[in-house]
Homo-oligomer: A and B are copies of this chain.
Amino acid sequence: MEIKVVKDILGANDQIAQKNRQLFDSHKNFVVNVMASPGAGKTSLIMETIKRLKGKVKMGVVEGDISSSLDAEAISQEDVPVVQINTGGECHLDANMTASALGDLPLADIELLLIENVGNLVCPAEFKIGEDIRVLISSTPEGDDKPYKYPLMFHEADAVLINKVDLLPYVRFDVDAFAKAIKGINRRAKIFPVSCTTGQGIDDWVEWLLGLMGQR
């Protein structure tokens, strides 16, 4: 059997990402693609960001997961519009899945759109979704060797948040060595040590984010 193949699947994705981008631009949405390993703290970071910006910035959230709506339920308690995408097995969000969620969000009433990708340090890095910036959360219990093992993800990040710094006394993680490894792959990435549990460093992240939004 002969089947016609879209040869450049990433090229096709980029076209849809560009359409998402035009839609975001028309509504002046600043869009953040939040990526990380499972359990590194994506939902927690989004919650902390919402808590700090509530009343100042109009926000919306897209939650990407293979299965379940646990994260969207948590976010909805913060009283911001949220849409859950269940990828049904797919290991990443792509531009088309993202597009399918946008109709359910009041984009005209959103300044900052936070999109939580599927927990995965590999595949999400390959798929643009129309975002302004890509943010990678790396957590201290994962170890400081991750930039060497998942170089594309670290290469693609505009910011790397080192989460769970409150656990540093109990795990083997050298913050300086980690930052150096990132710089070897990606000189532009801004690095923020944070803890979503204690709140440490979150203000610095939020200030940087507001600065970027202000430049547009």
Contacts and interface: CB of A to CB of B under 8 A. Distances in A.
Contacts of A68: 145, 148-149
Given A4-B2, A91-B123, A145 B70 contact: yes
A167 B140 CA distance: 12
A46 to B, nearest CB: 15
Contact of A38 (B2, B3, B7, B146): B146
Nearest to A140: B141
Interface string A37-50: 11110000000000
B121 A141 contact: no
A70 B7 CA distance: 34
B149 A70 contact: yes
Given A7-B3, A121-B119, A39 B141 contact: yes
A120 to B, nearest CB: 6
B167 A38 contact: no
Contacts of A5: 1-3, 5
Given A122-B120, A141-B139, A89 B2 contact: no
A151 to B, nearest CB: 5
A208 interface: no
Nearest to A65: B149
Contact of A171 (B4, B67, B146, B167): B167
Interface in A63-83: 65-68, 70
A157 interface: no
A39 B143 contact: yes
Q: Give 6 nearest A-B pairs by CB, closest first.
A: A39-B142, A91-B122, A141-B141, A68-B148, A37-B38, A39-B143
30 contacts: A2-B4, A2-B5, A3-B4, A37-B39, A37-B119, A37-B142, A38-B121, A38-B146, A38-B149, A39-B139, A39-B141, A39-B143, A39-B146, A65-B149, A66-B122, A67-B150, A68-B148, A68-B149, A70-B145, A70-B148, A118-B122, A119-B149, A139-B141, A141-B141, A141-B164, A166-B170, A167-B167, A167-B170, A167-B171, A170-B170
